[in-house]
Each structure stands twice: as structure tokens, then as C-alpha cells.
Amino acid sequence: MTGTDAAPKTRFLVLHDYGMGGSWWWIHARSAREILETFAWVEVVTDPEWLAWREGDDDMEEVDIDAPRMPVCLDELRAERDAQRGRPGFGALAGRDVVYLRRRWDEEDDEDLAVYLMEVGSDGRRIRQVELAEAGPGVRSGPDDWPLNTPIVDVFAPELVAQEISRDEFEEQWARARQAEAG
């Protein structure tokens, strides 16, 4: 038995937010960080109102982080994290309050390519973003401009390291960009 195996476990409320809904579990683990290192695309919810709301839900699954079998969705998120774990850059951006990224984004038709500079919180949600334009100023937007603000990145993902930019680069583009039009 290792030292971490002997540590007591606590019950954490965990959410996998996929946009128009989410999957919730109570996970027994030694720390919130252990959960984030074990499952991709989840967040540990600490808001007292959410905790109180979910506390009364008798249908929510409770799982132990060390269990060999997980509910289907959690099992897939664990497999994704397992595949990332040994790669260079795994978890390099985790634990920061804010991360700045440059990401190429293509629409489903692969024709409408766009480049976004994003300010992202520790939960993977955008705080602010700038869509760069080929000519002229970019377009800046924030949470009030988006219909949903689900996690857009998993800050443990190793490929994000290559997308990181400096705060200065983001702020420079933010200052030059025009505000997104309402609606």
C-alpha cells in the first residue's frame, strides 16, 4: 500500500458538462486534484448551492475512484485521461487560475477556419476571447456574448502546451479588437 492509498477519501461532487446538459457523480477520492488527474473533462463542484441541490438527489451514482469498473461515461473519461498521462505536457497547464491559448478552429465543412485567442479559467471555460480577422481588427467577446459557456478545453490535455501564448499577446489583441455585436 502506497502513502496515497492510505490517505482518507472524501466525497466530491463531480460534473461532466457537455453543453446542453451534464453528467453528475459523487466520487470518493483522496483529493479534488486526484479526480482531475484521473478523469478527462470533469470539474469538481464546490459551490455550496450546487452541493445542497445535489445532496438530495438519491438517483446520483456514488463511485470510488479506485473501483475497477466505472459508469460508462466515467469509464470513457478515465480511458481518455489514461491515454494522455504519459505524453509530454500532460497537466502542465493545470493548477493555474488563467491560461492564454491560441487555437485554430474549423467549422464542420473545413472551410471556415478561424483563429481564436482565449483567456481560459482553471475549469476550462472561456473568460474572454478574440477571434482574429485576416484583415482589420479582431472581434472580442465575453460570457455575456455566448449562449453557453461550457468547458472548451481540458487544462490537463498535453496538446494545449503548444497552444499557449503570453498574457501580453492576448491583451494586445484584446485592446485592438472590436466588441462583438449583440445577438
Among residues 149, 142, 140, 96, the alpha carbon closest in space to that of 122 is found at 96
Over range 34-45, report the average pLDDT.
96
Question: Is 92 inside a domain boundary?
Answer: no
Which of 41, 56, 85 is at the close of a domain? 85
Same domain, 10 and 81: yes
Which of 61, 85, 109 is at the close of a domain? 85
Same domain, 31 and 103: no
Dihedral of alpha carbons 158, 160, 162, 165, sign:
negative
The CA-based dihedral angle spanning residues 29, 30, 31, 35, taken in that order and rounded to the nearest 10 degrees: -40
Stated pTM of the model: 0.86
C-alpha distances (whole Å) from 115 to each of 102, 130, 133, 174 are 7, 8, 8, 13
The string of pLDDT tens digits covering residues 164-174 is 999 999 999 99
Mean pLDDT of the chain: 90
**How far is the C-alpha of 94 from the C-alpha of 36, rounded, in Å?**
9
The set of residues, in sequence order, having a beta carbon less than 8 Å from that of 98 and lying 6+ positions away, is 119, 120, 121, 122, 127, 167
Over range 170-179, report the average pLDDT.
95
Question: Is 93 inside a domain boundary?
Answer: no
**Amino acid code (one letter) for 157:** A
Same domain, 66 and 132: no
**How far is the C-alpha of 117 from the C-alpha of 163, rounded, in Å?**
9
Same domain, 109 and 67: no
State residue 1's pLDDT score: 42
Same domain, 10 and 56: yes
Question: Is 122 inside a domain boundary?
Answer: yes
Same domain, 49 and 119: no
Q: Where in the sequence is the domain holding 144, given as residue range(s)?
A: 98-179
Question: Is 90 inside a domain boundary?
Answer: no
Same domain, 110 and 60: no
The set of residues, in sequence order, having a beta carbon less than 8 Å from that of 177 and lying 6+ positions away, is 130, 137, 138, 139, 140
**Amino acid code (one letter) for 46:** T
Which of 50, 85, 120 is at the close of a domain? 85
Q: How many domains does the chain have?
A: 2
The set of residues, in sequence order, having a beta carbon less than 8 Å from that of 40 and lying 6+ positions away, is 77, 78, 80, 81, 84, 154, 156, 157
Same domain, 164 and 120: yes
Over range 102-111, report the average pLDDT.
72
The string of pLDDT tens digits covering residues 9-27 is 999 999 999 877 889 999 9
Same domain, 114 and 149: yes
Question: Is 172 inside a domain boundary?
Answer: yes
